[in-house]
Structure 1
Amino acid sequence: MTHILAIDQGTTSSRAILFDADMKIAATSQQEFTQHFPDSGWVEHEVEDLWRTVAETCRDVMDKTGLTASDIAGIGITNQRETTVVWDRDTGQAVHRAIVWQDRRTADFCREMKHHEPMVMARTGLLMDPYFSGTKLRWILENVDGARARARAGKLLFGTVDSYLIWKLTGGVRHVTDATNAARTMLYNIHEGRWDAEICKLLDVPMDMLPDVLDCAADFGTTDLLGGKTPILGVAGDQQAATVGQACFGKGMLKSTYGTGCFALLNTGDRPVTSTHRLLGTIAYQLDGKPTYALEGSIFIAGAVVQWLRDGLGIIGQASDTQPLADKADPQQRLYLVPAFTGLGAPHWDPDARGAIFGLTRGSGPAEFARAALESVGYQTRDLLEAMRADVPDLDETILRVDGGMSASDWSMQFLSDILGAPVDRPKVLETTALGAAWLAGMRAGVYPDQEGFARTWALERQFEPKMDEDERATRYAGWQDAVARTLTR
């Protein structure tokens, strides 16, 4: 058994990636699925779409390579975090569509519960915000007929996407999650390593619904999906998996992933940092029962802003058209696009903010929109880094490791380096999320090296260094801050 299968279940698509014994990609398969927006700020997925696309992509990569279950040493799973699924314990039928991490429907409830935020943050590292799973779960129990009674009777199960997939993969035998996904629910005490009874009571969540919490590399069960018994040995939420895949095992190491959103995680070692600048404390990974913590900044819209240019405005045909279009923008125009389509994340945490464009002139056109969209990702990352520097003062010399689809854009990464005033390192392997999940499973299976050995395999493809002078950097960022201030509702 020489291969590892990584399942990467994301916000807009599901992917299966086969890695060989040298951690090189042998085959990939990807399927997009429909996004549902039933109301303003609401985002949902059909739960069956998540399972169907995972199952079909897994079978597809096996068909492409001619491998069988006997060739697969283990499966690693990484997933969109916070997205909430509730299903029937006996039938496996979801009681409601999955409520996606971007969804803001519980914003009013979170405001009502704001006085509990100090307690919640002290225990979970998280803010009282609609982003996290806990209030989404409460909404389902409150709004689906009979759901609360069924949950109290032990008939319903809750999980983030990893839990649901494992339940399906194991034929309903295992109801489990890992520490990184548990840490994003707002129900898990990251200091004590257990579900928090007081917070569950506060949200009226029956604790029998909750999965067992395991290390990121553990025995999560076995599946017959590939035609034989295959163990599931690694699980991590997508941003934590990318942190692992970037080999950010040392305290002070920082990575930022650019997918649908953007998520920057700073390894803070064996002690969590309590942010005073509205960042999140979370678990970066947990091995051998020992959590390693991180400080996280979450941006809701990064690559999704390019999708908006394509699908919403129709000014590009495909994502790769954005960079050449941005190159044509008038350098004298200074547009700022604040992509608060589903509110603003860190460090602002304003669920009611909505997108806005500032600096429009009669000459503004598609090229200027494209440039402003790409620049918005750099500006938002600067917001996160400024907050991290304030929380961890010795961070100034840290180099940022980047990954995710948008990191392939030289234009975007150069602007990122320019506006940060810091180097940006892009690795040779950009599939760091899938690689992180694969390494967790492969390390557990004994076919991949330990942490130290894995860290030595990380290789730089290109380092971007800042070229913008300090005065221009300061002027541009001040303009961004003004635009954000005009967008905020609080």
Structure 2
Amino acid sequence: MVQAVLAIDQGTTNSKAALVTAGGDLLATGSAPVGLSTPHPGWVEQDPENLWQSVLHAISTATSFEGGRVEVVGIALSTQRESVVGWNRSGEPVGPVLGWQDVRTAEWCAQLPSYVDDLVRRRTGLRVDAMFSAPKMRWLLDRSDAYVGTVDAWLIHRLTGCQEHLTEAGNASRTLLYDTVALDWSPELLEAFDIPRAALPDVRPSNAGFGVTKDVPGLADGIPIVAVLADSHAAMYGQGCTQAGTAKATYGTGSSVMTPIAGFEPSGCTLAWLTDRPMYALEGNIVSSGAALAWTANLLGLPDVGALTTLAATVESAEDVVLVPAFAGLGAPHWDREARAALTGMSSSTTRAHIARAAVDAVAHQICDITDTIPGTLSSLRADGGATVSGLLMQTQADLLGHPVEAADVPEISALGVAELAWTTLGETTDWAGKRSFRTFDPGIDAGDRDRRRAEWAQAVASVRVRPA
């Protein structure tokens, strides 16, 4: 009998599941899409029940593995961050999932007293922004007396047959309500955002155990939920980025760049995970990366992002065309939610291929904007996420960074990361990142060309800014 951890990776647009052995081998995988709706400009919602059903579908596909009988010895859970769900005591949702991209609370955030932003920075390492969970929680609670939590809490609740109301520390650190030094909900922040403590789940370390399965179709009762991580944090764990000078970039709907640090810092800091001790990281969040590629593909009448990158590769450069994909404002390091998207530098000779190439460049430039803020020398950047299948994007990233990019050899890096934590918790010795192979992309342009392209991008970003840099 083969023993495996069932790793569930619930992301913004897909839910995935994978059976992972103690050696890090993938026995089987499953996936299912999750719909997004935008009922008003700036509103991004998902249906909580649809999200749950997508997880069940992914589990069903993965566990139908026919290569031999598999014993699932534990559940590992990786989830999208900052998105918020509200539900009543019987486990029924009371409204939509408010996605991390949702900016309906941006004006409310802007009206908060300045001391709140200062308090948030000192307690959480973050800043007040509509991307984070607390403003979304307040919006839901204004409409219903409910439990509120991030997606990990919602899935734990349903996986345990509505028996547990728990969340993981790294996910909690993205809410603006969790003191990442004291490692508990902050009474001052709860008061500042008017969130009742009784509405929130209890916080546990990443490997502390989160109950057992109950009444989950396709799974036996009593399987322990061993480990939980936020998806970007799970990718960092899976990439083995635990030393100074290493960093990972996740290319998803948005992007996350994370690098480990020795201790808490009150600026751009997050709690990556909490085991026997806290692991802190500096992080920059990009609002639109994969989403920018999808938008451009749609604009050009292309069927998908793959067709976009194929078209982009037919030209040597964007020929001075620059896309700034500030569709919901700019994230790190600019944090200007009032900025608006722009496509600049076009001429009568501009083609669809140049615009496609500008979209690819935009993703890479945004990563560079964040890595430029990392103190010290960055020795390596490890890349993961769906967009890393594009050799053009990875080469462009290396060119603009000026040092090699190592792309993970498997797309399920978040699932593997949380599965590795689960197996370690179950007593197995693991070093999966050390055994993993990478596709390495070396810079192919000189420093002068790199500086020129980066200056061109900076000028375009400055032109769409509303708030001063």
Using the size of structure 1 for normalisation, the TM-score is 0.91
Q: CA deviation at 1:172?
A: 1.1
Q: Are the counterparts in 2 of residues 425 and 460 from structure 1 also a CA contact under 8 Å?
A: no
Structure 2 residue identity aligned to 1:405: G
Give the match for residue 140 of structure 2: 140
Q: Alpha-carbon deviation of 1:52?
A: 0.6
Q: CA deviation at 1:249?
A: 2.0
Number of the residue aligned with 2:87: 87
Residue in 1 that maps onto 2:279: 292
Q: Give the match's secondary structure for 1:230.
A: coil
- State whether structure 2 residue 444 is matched by structure 1 residue 456: no
User: SS at 2:373's partner residue?
Assistant: helix
The structure-2 alpha-carbon separation of the partners of 1:483 and 1:17, relative to structure 1 and needing over 3 Å to count, comes to same
Equivalent AA in structure 2 for residue 441 of structure 1:
A
Distance in 2 separating the partners of 1:314 and 1:98: 30
Q: What is the match of residue 33 of structure 1?
A: 34
Counterpart of 2:75 in structure 1 is: 75
Deviations 1:296-331 (A, max 9, x none): 000011111222133x32532122212220122364
What's 1:204 paired with?
194
Deviation of the 1:67 alpha carbon? 6.7
Shift of 1:97: 0.2
1:199 and 1:332 mapped to 2: Cα distance? 46
Instruction: Give the CA deviation at 1:424.
Output: 1.0
- Partner Cα distance (1:39, 1:293) in 2: 36
What SS does the corresponding residue of 1:350 show, helix, strand or coil? coil
* Match among 180, 185, 190 for residue 170 of structure 2: 180
Asked if structure 2 preserves the Cα contact closer than 8 Å seen for 1:73 and 1:442, the reply is no
Match of 2:425 in 1: 444
Other-structure match for 1:113 = 112
Q: 1:29-68 maps to which residues of 2 (within 5 A)?
A: 29-65=30-66
Letter in 2 for 1:212: D
Task: Give, in angstroms, the shift of residue 454 of structure 1.
Answer: 4.2
Q: Does 1:261 align with 2:254?
A: yes
Q: Which moved more, 1:428-437 or 1:192-201?
A: 428-437
| Partner of residue 479 from structure 1, selected from 456, 460, 468 | 456
Q: CA deviation at 1:176?
A: 0.7
C-alpha distance in 2, partners of 1:10/1:211? 21
Q: Which residue of 2 aligns with 1:313?
A: 299
Q: Would you say 1:282 and 2:270 are equivalent positions?
A: yes
TM alignment of 1:34-433, pairs within 5 A: 34-65=35-66, 71-89=71-89, 91-113=90-112, 115=114, 116-142=116-142, 144=143, 147=144, 150=145, 156-224=146-214, 225=216, 226-269=219-262, 271-275=263-267, 280-288=268-276, 290-310=277-297, 312-329=298-315, 331=317, 333-388=319-374, 392=375, 394=376, 396-433=377-414
> What is the distance in 2 between the residues matched to 1:164 and 1:67?
32
SS at match of 1:222: coil
The total of aligned residue pairs comes to 462
Q: Displacement of 1:285 after TM fit?
A: 1.4
CA deviation digits over 1:134-170, x for unaligned, max 9?
011111122x2xx2xx3xxxxx211100100000010
Secondary structure at the residue paired with 1:387?
coil
Whether contact under 8 Å (1:400, 1:425) holds in the other structure is yes
Q: Cα offset for 1:427?
A: 3.0
CA positional deviation for 1:227: 2.8
Q: Please list the CA deviations of residues 3-35 of structure 1 after superposition, one character each: whole Å capped at 9, or x if unmatched.
A: 111111110111111112321111111111221
Q: What secondary structure, in the 3-state scheme, does the structure 2 residue paired with 1:5 have?
A: strand
Report the CA distance between 1:253 and its aligned residue: 2.1
Q: CA deviation at 1:252?
A: 3.3
| Other structure's SS at 2:281 match | strand
| Aligned mates of 2:378, 2:84 — CA distance in 1 | 37
| Gap regions ≥5 residues in structure 2 | none
Is this contact kept in 2: 1:8–1:77, CA < 8 A?
yes
Whether the 8 Å CA contact 2:318–2:358 is kept in 1: the answer is no
Question: Which structure's residues are more often helix, by fraction?
Answer: 1
Q: Deviations over 1:64-102 (max 9, x none)?
A: 33777x70111111111000011101x211111010001
Select between 97-106 and 459-468 the one with higher mean Cα deviation.
Answer: 459-468
Aligned to 1:153: none
Percent identity, aligned pairs only?
Answer: 38
Q: Is the 8 A contact 1:6 1:17 kept in 2?
A: yes
Shift of residue 332, structure 1, vs aligned partner? 7.0
Q: 1:440 to 1:229 in 2, by over 3 A?
A: same
Give 1:364 deviation, angstroms.
Answer: 2.1
1:293 aligned partner, one-letter code: Y
Q: Distance in 1 between matches of 2:464 and 2:315?
A: 24
- 1:22 equivalent in structure 2: 23
Q: Deviations over 1:195-236 (max 9, x none)?
A: 011111111110011111111112111114213421110100
Relative to the length of structure 2, the TM-score reads 0.95
Give the secondary-structure state (helix, strand or coil) at the position aligned to 2:81: coil
Whether contact under 8 Å (2:246, 2:378) holds in the other structure is no
Contact (CA 8 Å) 1:315, 1:366: kept in 2 or not?
no
Any gaps of 5 or more consecutive residues in structure 1?
151-155
CA distance in 2, matches of 1:74, 1:228: 11
